[in-house]
């Protein structure tokens, strides 16, 4: 037997002795009696000690576990309250999604109105429309039927997408409407300098129109350069457009005449007045009273002779009387 085998033999022998070694449990009575003893093998003692140690560990740890469980229960209760609150708020998503669809419909109608007003503007300015068929920017949200089986997060995503889409469309429509409004304001200001109203506020009957006719005084066919609107003497005559008075006085057959220069080649004349309310060089507004109906000059009865001149050439005033 070599030295290594000898050492291993003694180690195994020592372990065998340790296992065979045990303990003696003495049982001593409270009064006189025989002391009893119970032998406890070494392995049994070690097993008992391990079990007791484990039990003691869990006994000490138990209060801490109870505290952790209580904290977890409180956390779960708080989470349930938060979930209930969120669930209540998420239930509002359905009407919100429907509201975005309603808003899309109204925005679509606004875009249609914009297209109609754009076409009307082109018609008023005598501009040929770029498109023969009326088209407009259509607002369209994807069709979505709400269902109780839908997840709330998917509804929230749809709502966010709808709101982003509508935000872009509203910005575009708002910009387009502002631009169209500015165009109408500019055109409205231009209309102030174009004769588009009647020279008399109430009288609308034309006794003699524009064109060649037999003159009631000279008894020969000559060009009637305006229209005659009969009215009582003293009826106010108003400027049909904004401008500057260039004539205010007696001018032969016109009698008491007022002429107004409106710019852009437009001039208007108002003849046969009984008296004048303006002077040469005076600026007048559209609709301002400039004279009063009379029977002066070459006239057979009280009326206002009204002319529209474009680049000093008389034109028919009737198309301007809108």
pLDDT score at 265? 93
CB-facing half-sphere around the CA of 109: CA atoms within 13 A: 5
Pick 137 or 19 by higher pLDDT: 137
The distance of Cα 308 from the centroid of its chain, to the nearest Å, equals 45
pLDDT score at 79? 85
Tell me the C-alpha distance between 152 and 133, whole Å.
43
Of 41-55, 87-101, 200-214, the range with the highest mean pLDDT is: 200-214
Is residue 114's pLDDT more than 80? Answer: yes
In the block, residue with structure tokens 């009865």: 301
Lowest mean pLDDT, pick from 13-27, 66-80, 277-291: 13-27
Percent with pLDDT over 90 in the chain: 31
pLDDT score at 284? 97
Tell me the C-alpha distance between 50 and 220, whole Å.
143
Reported as a pLDDT band with limits 50, 70 and 90, residue 316 is: very high
pLDDT score at 144? 59
Mean pLDDT of 142-146: 60
Cross-strand partners of 107: none
Mean pLDDT of 168-186: 89
How crowded is residue 208: how many other Cβ atoms within 10 Å of its Cβ?
Answer: 17
pLDDT score at 21? 64
With contact defined as beta carbons under 8 Å apart, do 242 and 285 qualify? yes
pLDDT score at 5? 62
Mean pLDDT of 254-276: 95
pLDDT score at 59? 79
Mean pLDDT of 197-225: 86
pLDDT score at 11? 65
pTM: 0.55
Lowest mean pLDDT, pick from 103-117, 148-162, 284-298: 148-162
pLDDT score at 280? 96
Is residue 262's pLDDT more than 60? Answer: yes
How crowded is residue 2: how many other Cβ atoms within 10 Å of its Cβ?
Answer: 6
How crowded is residue 266: how many other Cβ atoms within 10 Å of its Cβ?
Answer: 20
Tell me the C-alpha distance between 194 and 209, whole Å.
20
Is residue 8's pLDDT more than 70? Answer: no
Tell me the C-alpha distance between 286 and 241, whole Å.
4
Mention every residue, 6+ apart, whose C-beta is less than 8 A from residue 142.
none
């Amino acid at each position: 037997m070599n030295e290594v085998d000898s050492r291993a033999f003694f180690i195994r022998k020592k372990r065998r002795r340790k296992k065979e070694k045990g303990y003696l449990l003495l049982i001593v009575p409270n009064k006189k009696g025989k002391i009893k003893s119970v032998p406890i093998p070494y392995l049994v003692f070690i097993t008992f000690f391990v079990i007791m140690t484990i039990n003691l560990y869990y006994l000490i740890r138990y209060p801490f576990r109870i505290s952790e469980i209580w904290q977890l229960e409180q956390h779960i209760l708080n989470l349930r309250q938060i979930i209930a609150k969120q669930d209540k708020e998420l239930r509002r998503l359905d009407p919100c999604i429907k509201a975005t669809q309603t808003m899309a419909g109204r925005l679509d109608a606004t875009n249609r109105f914009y297209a109609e007003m754009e076409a009307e503007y082109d018609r008023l300015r005598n501009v040929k429309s770029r498109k023969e068929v009326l088209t407009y920017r259509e607002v369209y949200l994807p069709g979505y039927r709400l269902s109780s089986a839908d997840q709330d997060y998917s509804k929230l995503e749809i709502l966010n997408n709808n709101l982003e889409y509508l935000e872009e469309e509203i910005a575009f429509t708002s910009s387009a409407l502002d631009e169209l409004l500015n165009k109408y304001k500019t055109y409205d200001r231009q209309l102030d300098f174009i004769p588009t109203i009647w020279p008399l506020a109430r009288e609308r009957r034309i006794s003699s129109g524009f064109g060649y006719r037999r003159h009631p005084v000279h008894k020969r066919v000559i060009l009637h350069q305006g229209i005659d609107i009969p009215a009582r003497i003293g009826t106010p005559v108003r400027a049909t457009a904004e401008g500057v008075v260039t004539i205010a006085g007696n001018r032969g057959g016109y009698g008491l005449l007022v002429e107004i220069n409106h710019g852009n080649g437009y001039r208007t004349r108002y003849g046969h007045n009984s008296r004048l309310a303006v002077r040469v060089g005076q600026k007048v507004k559209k609709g301002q009273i400039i004279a009063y109906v009379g029977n002066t000059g070459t006239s057979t009865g009280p009326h206002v002779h009204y002319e529209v001149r474009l680049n000093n050439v008389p034109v028919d005033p009737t198309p301007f009387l809108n």
